Amino acid sequence: EPEVTQTPSHQVTQMGQEVILRCVPISNHLYFYWYRQILGQKVEFLVSFYNNEISEKSEIFDDQFSVERPDGSNFTLKIRSTKLEDSAMYFCASTRYMNTEAFFGQGTRLTVV
């Protein structure tokens, strides 16, 4: 069964450093997303991406965040200068069409120290 894969599974970084979280969405999917879940809180939407551009983003997704689809398979989330409060599980997701069920990756646990 096709699945969304994320690397790395766990990333520890120092405050102020840049991190890149990587995702390989399901190959025939057209819409890509990043969500995050801070420990003990709900899963929150960060950004959606379609046709090589951001289609929607939340208030969380400020100028420190960026997304890119550098080739036909990868979808990345970059945090330019990490803060302690960026520590969370980051989930990548993809959908074939709009308003269909999203398939999530297993997540990357980001720890900022």
Partner 1 sequence: DQQVKQNSPSLSVQEGRISILNCDYTNSMFDYFLWYKKYPAEGPTFLISISSIKDKNEDGRFTVFLNKSAKHLSLHIVPSQPGDSAVYFCAASVDGAGSYQLTFGKGTKLSVIP
Among 12, 18, 38, 55, binds partner 1 (CB under 8 A): 55
Among 25, 29, 33, 36, binds partner 1 (CB under 8 A): 33
Q: Note whether 43 binds partner 1 by CB under 8 A.
A: yes
d(CA 99, CA 83): 33
Q: Note whether 45 binds partner 1 by CB under 8 A.
A: yes
> Minimum CB separation from partner 1 for residue 16, in Å?
28
d(CA 86, CA 111): 8
Q: Which residues bind partner 1 (CB under 8 A)?
A: 4, 6, 31, 33, 35, 41-45, 48-50, 55-56, 58, 91, 93, 95, 98-99, 101-107
